[in-house]
Amino acid sequence: MTLDREFFEEMPKAELHLHLDGALKPKDIWALAQKHRVTLPNLPEQTQDALQRYYQLPKGVNLSDPEAFNRFLGMFKVALSVMQTRTSLRDAALAHVMDLHSRNYVYAETRFAPQYHTEGGMSLEMAIQSVIEGLQLGYERTRKETLVKPIVCIGREANQETSLAVAKAALAFEQDGVVALDLACNETLYPPELHKPAFELTFKSPLARTVHAGEFAKTPEQRVQNVRTALNDLKADGLGHAIPLPGQADLLAHVKRAAIRVESCPLSNKITRAINGDLRELALDVLLKEGVLVTVNTDDPAIFGTSLADVLQAVCRAYGFGKEEVRKLMRNAVESAFCDHDEEMRAYFAFKHKGLHLLSDEPDNPFNQLG
């Protein structure tokens, strides 16, 4: 049975890999710029139309083309420009939750790199506090229907001092809701081992670790090596992308044994040309069959002009997946969430009470224990 568009739009959703700056919609960026009197960089004129046009990557764009890539980086710059003060960053996080709520998300983990929010004088800690406040406000404003937990990212171009400072700041907010530390951005120039000292700080803490690895690297071997380093040296509990994973028996065994979650980002990989264009290169069917905790995610939906509904629909088309596989992907997302057990149960509950009862006909469904 082919699932129609309505199914993907209306189904309750959980996502574990999206970036706040890459997820903030142009309409929200515009509203924030007006409210907080920010002049947006890179735009020929300060109008909402110009912003919308800037945010439209041409169809079939090739991000390995330098001009297109600069535009791609420029969009992040525009988004970050409206998130440089405590109130504007809090408002951005709130707008993000409201956007996810309108798309029927019940749970998400959104990452952001505090080092990119210090231009207006905020400290790393102030940036983290602002995001936590915005996400909490969003949770309340959505009548507790959309829970979004923050992941703190190290932008990997950071020097050792900043890298350690970001990890310490993330640890300081573990009690206040930060669920994990992540490593993101340019994997080709900055391999994961550079940030081992920062990740080591979290080894004896409840903070989880996720690492962008196996997305971009100079050679296929390096891409595999980065996944290995993320698992062995950075002790990752989650892997962002991990494109070469299905072809590596030892890594696959490690991921299964240790219940490491895999945050696959199919349309992101297609648009950035991290894969050749065929989503089947990610072998999501193999990962599901192997029992890997694989999830599908948008990564930077506003930048790519995509949504989780688009991602799920594209994956279903490419692999011939139906409701059963969609259910499994969503279930993997909730089960491998980094939030605490009560929150995980609440996310399950939210699934149960949202229209399609996606998970409710499974015999071992944890809903049953909740009555």
13 vs 36, which CB is nearer to Zn ion?
13
CB of 140 to Zn ion, least distance (A): 27
Distance of CA 265 to the CA centre of its chain: 9
Where do the DSSP E strands lie in the chain?
Answer: 13-19, 105-112, 147-155, 180-184, 208-213, 238-241, 261-264, 293-296
CB of 352 to Zn ion, least distance (A): 29
299 vs 310, which CB is nearer to Zn ion?
299
- Where does this chain touch Zn ion (CB under 5 A) — which range of 98-106, 251-259, 293-301, 343-351? 293-301
CB of 265 to Zn ion, least distance (A): 6
237 vs 299, which CB is nearer to Zn ion?
299
CB of 297 to Zn ion, least distance (A): 8
CB of 108 to Zn ion, least distance (A): 13
CB of 19 to Zn ion, least distance (A): 6
3 state SS of 191: coil
33 vs 179, which CB is nearer to Zn ion?
179
- Where does this chain touch Zn ion (CB under 5 A) — which range of 49-57, 270-278, 298-306, 354-362? 298-306
- Residue 25 near residue 302, CB atoms below 8 Å: yes
| Interacting residues of 310 by C-beta distance below 8 A, sequence separation 6+ | 8, 267, 298
Which residues ranging from 59 to 118 are in contact with Zn ion (CB under 5 A)? none
List the one residue out of 18, 135, 137, 140 whose CA is nearest residue 79: 18
- Contact between 344 and Zn ion (CB under 5 A)? no
Q: Return the residue nearest Zn ion (CB atom).
A: 299
CB of 115 to Zn ion, least distance (A): 16
- Residue 261 near residue 332, CB atoms below 8 Å: yes
Integer CA distances (angstroms), 353 to 178, 252, 315, 323, in order: 26, 35, 25, 18
109 vs 299, which CB is nearer to Zn ion?
299
Count of residues interacting with Zn ion (CB under 5 A) = 1
- Where does this chain touch Zn ion (CB under 5 A) — which range of 5-13, 26-34, 128-136, 292-300? 292-300
| Interacting residues of 224 by C-beta distance below 8 A, sequence separation 6+ | 214, 244, 248, 251
Measure the CA angle with vertex 294, ends 275 and 25; round to 5°: 65
Torsion of CA 104, 109, 115, 119, to 10 degrees: 20
CA–CA dist 129, 176 (Å, integer): 9
- Contact between 299 and Zn ion (CB under 5 A)? yes
215 vs 344, which CB is nearer to Zn ion?
215
Phi and psi, residue 74, nearest 5°: -60, -35
304 vs 321, which CB is nearer to Zn ion?
304
Question: Which residues of this chain interact with Zn ion, rule CB under 5 A?
Answer: 299
